[in-house]
Structure 1
Amino acid sequence: METAPQTMKARAVIVPRAGEAPRVETIEVAPPGVGEVRVKILASGVCHTDLHAQRRHFGRSFPYLLGHEGAGVVEAVGDGVTDLGVGEHVMLNWRAPCHRCRFCRAGRPTHCERPRVAADARLKREDGASLGRVLGLGTFTTHTVVAAGQCIPVSPALSPLATCLIGCGVITGVGAAIFAAQVKAGEKVAVFGCGAVGLSVVMGAKLARAKQIIAVDRVAKKLEWARELGATDVVDASAGDAVAAVEALSEGGVDHAFEAVGIPETLAQAAQSCALAGSCTMIGVPQPKTEVALSMPHLFYKRLTLRSTFYGDCLPARDFPLLADWYASGELPLDRFVSERIGLEEVGEAFAKMERGETIRSVIDLREPS
């Protein structure tokens, strides 16, 4: 007879209060409840969203357990879990459709109003305080408890350092190109902002067989990365009029422009760079109360489509395995995204490197030494 899992200790990166530096603490992880699983984390990517959470740009659930790009191994399952087993390797997602709301019932699950985003509060500090978790996950830890629907099986033969990145930044960018904008072979694309999400758009556009992919950024290193990952042309936005440069390179504008920064200036530039009947897709997350001025005549006479995309308009159960297959085949070079492997204690410095534009992704490596 299998012994029921007990409360266990784990090491985790916690932010006690908004704006405070992240620190490693010992936490308590309760057994998984109904429909939940406990996951031993093998790897977790350090994303800008975690930095936003630390600074309280969203969420109020302090003390906070950071992290939301994770891959690991199922260690225990709660009652009612039938599609996952102990020892199964998984990627974690933070937005699985409910299959019950009006959008899900209408066949539009990517617009789900009530996505399954979290297990119950199973993680606590040693003083008994419940931990908030970034996007309902909390992956900067050796162990976490999540809803079973947040787990997507993945081959153990694939590196978790790479597959963990599918969980947010990569699916957001690749999905924006393939699922949201539906870039077609032979089309022209411009990507404004070449952080991890923008670089993922570049990879997605290449997968879609775009004819031209123009990467726009102010940081030379990011433009180098964009070329390595599939950009056919690059524009240094600090050197002059980025819109004019894109129009010249594309001979009149692009079919698809993507804004991956989240500020008014780049959204306006992206929209302005579109050709007749083009589309502009907003990916970057704006700060609250941000407003933008757009050229209404340009939108009108060019007959543009302006959209936003959330999580790459993906369905995790359908699309995570697809991206994992592309990684396995070499079509999605995720190993190139891993700029460095770090420990839990190095998250603060990883945030600083990310802000300085020195890394695509720092990845916390929690695998056992071989």
Structure 2
Amino acid sequence: MTLAAVMRTLDGPLTVEEIDLNPTGPGQVRVRLAAAGVCHSDLSLANGTLRQPLPAVLGHEGAGVVTEVGEGVTSVRPGDHVVLNWSPPCRACWFCDHGEPYLCAHADDARAVPFATSAGTPVYAGLGTGAFASETVVGAHACIPVPPDIPLAEAALLGCAVLTGVGAVTNAARVRPGETVAVIGLGGVGLAAIQGARIAGASEIIAVDPSPAKEPLARSLGATHFVPPHAGLPKEIRTLTGGLGADHAIECVGRGETIRAAWSSTRRGGTATVVGLGSAQDPVTFNALEVAFFARRIVGCMYGNTDPAVDVPILLEHYRAGRLNLAALVTDEVDLSGIGEAFTRMRSGQGARTLVRFQSPAA
């Protein structure tokens, strides 16, 4: 039995209850969670923007301790500390063979398979991980080992927000020293992107968010300017960048209007990198003249275009060197019963990351 926050209806409440985990099968690993971040993608799964079989245990940004391994697992052992990877590559498909493991054709194979039962009803794991539970069962390839001296509560953020935000800057946008960067949307991903831009050596980092309460945190992480979104945002960003526009705009909201604003905020020849996952019913439009005239690029970014097995160790180097502040991204902490409140804060744009802490020696 494990304690979990279960969602039974679309956009319905999450109820804390005991569920029965399936046995740890061949190639699988059982993990006792220490902490899990509450991500906007969890909200998108809850409200139907992203598909999710129900009933489900959401949560995909987690870290914990391996308690059991199935037959054939050699990559981790009981007692190992791990970060969960919600998009584990198969290492064999076309995308994996061509250096794009973040687009793996089989990354979501486990998402349609129940990982637990409750009163005889199958329960599915959100994004294949089910991190809003005291324990979960995942594939061994979904476990990224981390050294035992790294606090698991902070390591959990590596599983999505930090990999995505820093990866958007370094892997997708490929920001170079001296370039200017605008980051639109300052949730956990956007604040990680600010840190990524600072680490990359950006000369100006313009943070964009409607909440003035986020300005001190954004500046402490590397932002040189803070502006609210408004109709004249592209013009203001051009003013802040010598009349040119930003070399890069990192869009972390996932709305048509903010994607369009990111595009318009970049200089001629600049790049807008879209990180936010939006709705299929929310279009973005460009006229036929501006696409060629401005010679801008718009780049999609999935999971920071990362390979977590490669990028997590790099992020840990930055963390140990003091270049990456993980603790600062956490603005609220709750137990399982507080996830609904975390969703409410996300809807209203409050705070950065809410962290679910589990009462466990792993914490």
Match for residue 335 of structure 1 among 301, 306, 327: 327
Match of 1:122, as an amino acid?
Answer: F
Distance 1:112 1:368, change over 3 A: closer
Can you give the 5+ residue segments of structure 1 that lack an aligned partner in the other structure?
A: 1-8
Distance 1:135 1:60, change over 3 A: closer
Q: Give a deviation string over 1:18-60, Cα, whole Å, max 9, x none.
A: 1211110000012211100000000000111112222222224
Distance 1:115 1:368, change over 3 A: closer
Match for residue 239 of structure 2 among 217, 231, 248: 248
SS in structure 2 of the partner of residue 84 of structure 1: coil
- Name the residue aligned to 1:121: 114
Q: Give a deviation string over 1:278-317, Cα, whole Å, max 9, x none.
A: 1111111111222112244333122111110000000011
Match for residue 151 of structure 1 among 143, 147, 158: 143
- Name the residue aligned to 1:5: none
Q: Give a deviation string over 1:230-261, Cα, whole Å, max 9, x none.
A: 111111224x5111110000011111111111
SS in structure 2 of the partner of residue 215 of structure 1: strand
Superposed, 1:1-370 pairs within 5 Å as 9-115=1-107, 118=110, 120-125=113-118, 127-238=119-230, 241-251=232-242, 252-368=244-360
In the TM superposition, what is the alpha-carbon distance from 1:82 to its structure 2 partner? 0.8
Match of 1:248, as an amino acid?
Answer: T
In the TM superposition, what is the alpha-carbon distance from 1:109 to its structure 2 partner? 2.9
Question: Do the aligned partners of 1:259 and 1:267 also contact (CA within 8 Å) in 2?
Answer: yes
In angstroms, what is the RMSD of aligned CA positions? 1.7
In the TM superposition, what is the alpha-carbon distance from 1:354 to its structure 2 partner? 2.4
Distance 1:356 1:108, change over 3 A: closer
Distance 1:111 1:350, change over 3 A: closer
Distance 1:348 1:355, change over 3 A: same
2:345 and 2:264 map into 1 onto residues whose CA distance is 32
Question: Do the aligned partners of 2:251 and 2:258 also contact (CA within 8 Å) in 1?
Answer: yes
- TM-score relative to the length of structure 2: 0.95
SS in structure 2 of the partner of residue 204 of structure 1: helix
Question: Do the aligned partners of 2:89 and 2:141 also contact (CA within 8 Å) in 1?
Answer: no
Question: Do the aligned partners of 1:171 and 1:314 also contact (CA within 8 Å) in 2?
Answer: yes
In the TM superposition, what is the alpha-carbon distance from 1:367 to its structure 2 partner? 4.1
Match of 1:54, as an amino acid?
Answer: A
2:251 and 2:286 map into 1 onto residues whose CA distance is 14
- TM-score relative to the length of structure 1: 0.93
2:33 and 2:304 map into 1 onto residues whose CA distance is 24
Q: Give a deviation string over 1:103-159, Cα, whole Å, max 9, x none.
A: 22233333322226538533111x111112111110011100000000000112111
Count of residue correspondences? 360
2:108 and 2:348 map into 1 onto residues whose CA distance is 34
Identity among equivalent positions (%) equals 38
Match of 1:124, as an amino acid?
Answer: T
Can you give the 5+ residue segments of structure 2 that lack an aligned partner in the other structure?
A: none
In the TM superposition, what is the alpha-carbon distance from 1:92 to its structure 2 partner? 0.4
SS in structure 1 of the partner of residue 114 of structure 2: coil
Match of 1:55, as an amino acid?
Answer: N
Q: Give a deviation string over 1:307-337, Cα, whole Å, max 9, x none.
A: 1000000001111122122222221101001
SS in structure 2 of the partner of residue 130 of structure 1: strand
SS in structure 1 of the partner of residue 349 of structure 2: coil
